[in-house]
Structure 1
Amino acid sequence: MPDPSADPIALITAWAGGPVTITEIEGGRGHRVARVEAGGGRRWLLRVLDPGVAAAGLGLEPETEIANTRQAAVSGVGPQVVHRLAGLPALLLEDIEGRALDAAAVREPDLIPGIARACRRLHAGPAFANDFSIFAELEGLLGLCRRRGLPVPDGHADRLPAVADIERALAHWPLPAVPCHNGLLPQTLIAADGGEVRITDYRLSGNHDPAFDLGDVAAEADYPADLVPMLAGAYFGGPDRRLFARVALYRIVSDLVCALRSAVRHGLLVGPADPRAGERTRRAVRHLDDPAFGRLIDDARGLPSF
């Protein structure tokens, strides 16, 4: 059982055998993330998981995230787990040497093959402790908004029939579920000094359709139209209309789900409404209203092109 009175810094100091320096890092999405430095040039990342994130429907239960983080480390893509703090849902992780990416970097064509390789390595690794469905996630977040009286972004509800169309189209040619990240924000990607891209933060991880991770990368970095087939081709080994359509449709769903997550996060954990929720919904709506949307549905179903 976690011990809420346990002090992570005292535990780390005792484990490290001497004083440590802590530098808090923003962007933990409700969890505490900090860089820890100790004597002898030793350095790690501390990740302390807040059970309130899972309670708000915004992440995994801490023990599941910890289990998946260990599995991602086995694949070589995730950071190595250095130490589990006794009595706490907290890990000391490898502090990966390299450049943390932003959206502009994730859009760099030269980096796209490395991002695709990182996804393939994660997807080929050991299975995670849980399964994940982005469509179930959407339903769960909508239910949470109804129960807690949280506002849904304008225009979101009107597009749910199109989401159902996407789910049916993707079900025609399902891909085997693999260990997926399911939350590939640009800052979760690190261009490591060794030349490979590494992936951090397994808050939303679970076994899922591999094409979702690609669509999520495209959504989070706001890919222009020409980069989506480039990422899909780099991952799948060449052009394939059905697989490209799968990635493009998941990109739309990712935007809609992330809009809901923003609404829930700011309604339950942070406070005022997040303008990004509306932005993500409007972006999804643009893709849904694009004349090419119907062709994507047909391609995902494997229908012939005339």
Structure 2
Amino acid sequence: MSNVLGQASTAAEREVEEHLRSVPEWGGLGVEYAPVIGGLQNSNWRVTVPGDHRSYFLKVPGAGTDAFIDRGVANVAAKRAGDLGISPRVAHFDGASGAEVCEFLEGYRACTNGDMKEWAITEDVLRLYDAFHGTEPLPVTKTMFDLIDEHLAQGAELGAQLPPFASVLLREYGIVKEVLQASGLDLVPCHNDPMPGNFLISEHGPMKLVDFEFASNNERAYDLALILAEFFYDEPTAMACIEAAYGSTNWKVVSRVQLCRFLADVKWGLWGCVNHQLNTSWDFDYHKYGVWKLLRARGQMADPRWSQWLQAV
């Protein structure tokens, strides 16, 4: 059910109206808005404007998310992706609040893990990432090591609870960090968050990439490793993805991606444990999610090829 600007009856609706009033072009118009289901931390809204044939999507940042997200960098990344045609175009951005308005994609839906079982869908995902990797460098470089170290510092400050085996993971993390840094990093603009819902598909248009909140210049192999981890790909599919992305499955490339897959789960595992301390009102068990990710990273380093991967990069 839609509200017209000025009809807010809840705190969330009043916040939305405050953001809508900040868009200069919409001043004095009977703008309508309605909630969009989805999103773990932000609130999302569909906006319609009298006399405009397009609809818009408003993202309002959730409380506590600034601990992880540079909204200015996210907006730069979103604008570049929109200009490239791989993402909805940004219509308005409020630098003070981080609220962002972009075009609403009619007829599109978010992907699920089930969609990612189709190789054609996976190819589209890889195509979008390859296009984004080819854009100009972003204003911020945040490697997977920066991200992990940031979460470790946040966790220590907030008293985040880590599972007993975390000490083993962090010891091995130090080794992986040393090995990959010595090899040199292949830094490109990275999306850094390939959850299935960030890929939108339609029967009438190409796949689109959304949500650049974690974007930064980062290691190319890490962005691919995130895809392999997030979509639960088995080894044959992972090898097919590596070949599609790099044109080769030589042992050095495979080893690099596999080590980054370990780092991906360490990063998001720590993120989950830290988020649990930041806001207990979110309707999601962040601690359970975080421990599961860390446990999966533990399984990755238990692979009998682990030492060979470390030596190969």
Displacement of 1:270 in angstroms is 2.7
Say which is worse superposed, 194-203 or 7-16, in terms of deviation.
7-16
Deviations 1:81-124 (A, max 9, x none): 12235864222112234331112222322222211111110001
Q: Are 1:270 and 2:280 matched, yes or no?
A: yes
Among 44, 68, 79, which residue is 1:70 paired with? 79
Determine the structure 1 residue equivalent to 2:8.
none
Give TM-score, length-normalised by structure 1.
0.86
Write the mapping of 1:54-203 to structure 2, written as runs, cut at 5 A.
Answer: 54=66, 56=67, 58-60=68-70, 62-85=71-94, 88-97=97-106, 98-193=108-203, 196-203=206-213
Determine the structure 2 residue equivalent to 1:24.
36
Say which is worse superposed, 275-284 or 36-45, in terms of deviation.
36-45
Q: Are 1:286 and 2:288 matched, yes or no?
A: no
Given that 2:26 and 2:49 are in contact with CA atoms closer than 8 Å, whether structure 1 keeps it comes out as no
Displacement of 1:238 in angstroms is 3.1
Give TM-score, length-normalised by structure 2.
0.84
Determine the structure 1 residue equivalent to 2:257.
247
The one-letter amino acid of 1:126's match is: E
Determine the structure 2 residue equivalent to 1:295.
308
Among 49, 57, 64, which residue is 2:61 paired with? 49
Given that 1:107 and 1:227 are in contact with CA atoms closer than 8 Å, whether structure 2 keeps it comes out as no
Supply the distance in 1 between the matched residues of 2:293 and 2:95 (Cα, whole angstroms): 40
Given that 2:64 and 2:278 are in contact with CA atoms closer than 8 Å, whether structure 1 keeps it comes out as no
Displacement of 1:74 in angstroms is 2.8
Q: Secondary structure at the match of 1:246?
A: helix
The one-letter amino acid of 1:151's match is: Q
Determine the structure 1 residue equivalent to 2:44.
33
Evaluate the alpha carbon distance shift between residue 80 and residue 180 of structure 1 in structure 2; reply closer, same or farther with a 3 A threshold: same
Say which is worse superposed, 45-54 or 132-141, in terms of deviation.
45-54
Supply the distance in 2 between the matched residues of 1:160 and 1:228 (Cα, whole angstroms): 25
Determine the structure 1 residue equivalent to 2:219.
209
The one-letter amino acid of 2:219's match is: D
Say which is worse superposed, 45-54 or 211-220, in terms of deviation.
45-54
Deviations 1:246-279 (A, max 9, x none): 2221111111111111111121123566311121
Determine the structure 2 residue equivalent to 1:304.
none
Unaligned runs of 5+ in 2: 1-14
Evaluate the alpha carbon distance shift between residue 126 and residue 136 of structure 1 in structure 2; reply closer, same or farther with a 3 A threshold: same
Given that 2:199 and 2:208 are in contact with CA atoms closer than 8 Å, whether structure 1 keeps it comes out as yes
Q: Secondary structure at the match of 1:262?
A: helix
Given that 1:156 and 1:281 are in contact with CA atoms closer than 8 Å, whether structure 2 keeps it comes out as yes
Say which is worse superposed, 118-127 or 159-168, in terms of deviation.
159-168
Write the mapping of 1:3-22 to structure 2, written as runs, cut at 5 A.
Answer: 7-11=18-22, 15=26, 17-22=29-34
Supply the distance in 1 between the matched residues of 2:16 and 2:211 (Cα, whole angstroms): 25
Say which is worse superposed, 252-261 or 72-81, in terms of deviation.
72-81
Unaligned runs of 5+ in 1: 302-306
Q: Secondary structure at the match of 1:35?
A: strand
Deviations 1:213-239 (A, max 9, x none): 110111112222222111111111232
Q: Secondary structure at the match of 1:270?
A: coil
Q: Secondary structure at the match of 1:7?
A: helix
Evaluate the alpha carbon distance shift between residue 276 and residue 85 of structure 1 in structure 2; reply closer, same or farther with a 3 A threshold: closer
Displacement of 1:151 in angstroms is 0.7
Q: Secondary structure at the match of 2:221?
A: helix
Given that 2:69 and 2:213 are in contact with CA atoms closer than 8 Å, whether structure 1 keeps it comes out as yes
Given that 1:215 and 1:254 are in contact with CA atoms closer than 8 Å, whether structure 2 keeps it comes out as yes
Q: For the aligned residues, what is the CA RMSD?
A: 2.5
Q: Secondary structure at the match of 2:186?
A: coil
**Poorly superposed stretches of 4+, deviation over 6 Å:** none
Deviations 1:31-63 (A, max 9, x none): 332222344552111122357312x3x222x22
Evaluate the alpha carbon distance shift between residue 125 and residue 286 of structure 1 in structure 2; reply closer, same or farther with a 3 A threshold: same
Identity between Structure 1 and Structure 2 (%): 21
Determine the structure 2 residue equivalent to 1:260.
270
Supply the distance in 2 between the matched residues of 1:184 and 1:156 (Cα, whole angstroms): 24
